[in-house]
Amino acid sequence: MKYIRFLLFPFSLLYGLILHLRNKCYDYGILKSYSFSIPVIVVGNLATGGTGKSPMIEFLLNHFKTKHRLGVVSRGYKRQSKGYREVFEDSTVGEVGDEPLQIKRKFPDVVVAVSEKRTTGIEKIKNRVEAVLLDDAFQHREVKASQYILLTTYYDRYSKDFVLPTGNLREFRNGAKRADIIVVTKCPPDLSRRESEQIKKELNLRNPQKCYFSTIAYASEIVNHTAKKSLTELKQQIFTLVTGIANPDSLVAHLKNLGLTFKHSDFPDHHYFSDDELEKIQQEPLIVTTEKDYMRMAPRLKNPNVYFLPISVKILFDETPDFLQAVNIEKR
């Protein structure tokens, strides 16, 4: 596969050039961007999936929801509906997508909406909120956001990647210059200051860009709608890990580091489980999955022994206050 991707290099150059010209059209006003009277903060990436956008959105909501009326707009990836839809707690994954529904159920007071056309989504909710978090919209140049937060994973930084199809980038690396804040996600919890400074140099930050480092904080319990289990209890039994996310490597490594024994059934990102797949999965005595996968599976589950492991974002080096201060959630 690696060699096939290398052979596709000319297509990567063509694809990257087309996107570069598109970006220049927005930069010079040939294509119109729309700004809004309230803060609009983009959380996005250069690579295709798996950088931790949803956990970062939840991190920001957790810290700002008590002081501000917030909205979230997403396209609702792989939903079965089209156009603008507001997300309610009783919405379905098919109607709005798994991640927007997960966010709404965790933050019922937050206005959550899905819309392929992000300008429409913002326009529909802007009078009900004080700021909008725009999920996965770094390349959505029709919106001129007030701030851009760019995520890149520790193990697959955009500085070492290339444009599709040779690499995994949606545009050339220099697209990172549009970011106000860059967060290197999924770092080892013991990342050293020295290495973080080396990474900053590698990313070639531009003044006044700020760079932070985050890691995944895993809960000590697996949970479902009615019960919970300590992870230490799992040492006594073999379970099945089911994942349908872009990159499950961090989760797999975490569970192995805890000394747990499990089988791993790995599916593509945002995978919609068929009835046959669910029937087979539910024959296992104990299933552990991600919260996003549980959101898609839960309405159709018959087995009560299906749990998910909650995760959260932790900013390293005690820089959470500085990071939150850098986020322009207030109208200025």
Please report whether residue 331 resides in a domain.
Answer: no
Do 142 and 289 lie in one domain? The reply is no
Do 293 and 320 lie in one domain? The reply is no
Do 24 and 157 lie in one domain? The reply is yes
Distance between CA atoms of 60 and 57, rounded to whole angstroms?
A: 5
Tokens of 282: 């539910």
Tokens of 105: 């159920």
Do 133 and 208 lie in one domain? The reply is yes
Please report whether residue 37 resides in a domain.
Answer: yes
Do 45 and 194 lie in one domain? The reply is yes
What CATH number corresponds to the domain at position 239? 3.40.50
pLDDT tier, 2 (very low <50, low <70, confident <90, very high otherwise): low
Contact 219, 310 (CB under 8 A): yes
What is the structure's pLDDT at 302?
78
Please report whether residue 200 resides in a domain.
Answer: yes
Q: Is the pLDDT of residue 6 over 80?
A: no
The strands making up 111-114's β-sheet, listed across from edge to edge, are 85-87, 111-114, 70-74, 131-135, 40-45, 147-153, 181-185, 210-218, 311-315
Please report whether residue 332 resides in a domain.
Answer: no
Contacts 24+ apart (CB under 8 A), 256-265: 258/231, 258/234, 259/235, 260/231, 260/234, 260/235, 262/234, 262/238, 262/288, 263/238, 263/239, 264/240, 265/240, 265/241
Do 140 and 267 lie in one domain? The reply is no
Do 165 and 206 lie in one domain? The reply is yes
Do 249 and 207 lie in one domain? The reply is no
Do 232 and 159 lie in one domain? The reply is no
Count structural domains, the chain.
Answer: 2
253 CB contacts (<8 Å, ≥6 apart)? none
Tokens of 38: 């309230």
- The residue segments making up the domain with residue 15 are 2-217+315-326
Q: Is the pLDDT of residue 317 over 70?
A: yes
Distance between CA atoms of 270 and 98, rounded to whole angstroms?
A: 8
Run of H or E residues at 250: helix 249-257
What digits encode the pLDDT tens for the residues 59-74? 999 999 999 999 999 9
Tokens of 325: 């201060």
What digits encode the pLDDT tens for the residues 224-256? 988 999 999 998 888 999 999 988 999 999 999
Do 198 and 261 lie in one domain? The reply is no
Q: Is 219 left (phi over 0), alpha (psi -120 to 50) or beta?
A: beta
Residue with tokens 């073999």: 238
229: amino acid identity, one letter: K
Do 122 and 37 lie in one domain? The reply is yes
What digits encode the pLDDT tens for the residues 208-218? 999 999 999 99
Please report whether residue 246 resides in a domain.
Answer: yes
What digits encode the pLDDT tens for the residues 157-207? 999 999 999 999 999 999 999 999 999 999 999 999 999 999 999 999 999
Do 119 and 248 lie in one domain? The reply is no
What CATH number corresponds to the domain at position 321? 3.40.50.300
Q: Integer distance in angstroms from the first to the last C-alpha of the chain?
A: 49
What is the structure's pLDDT at 9?
85
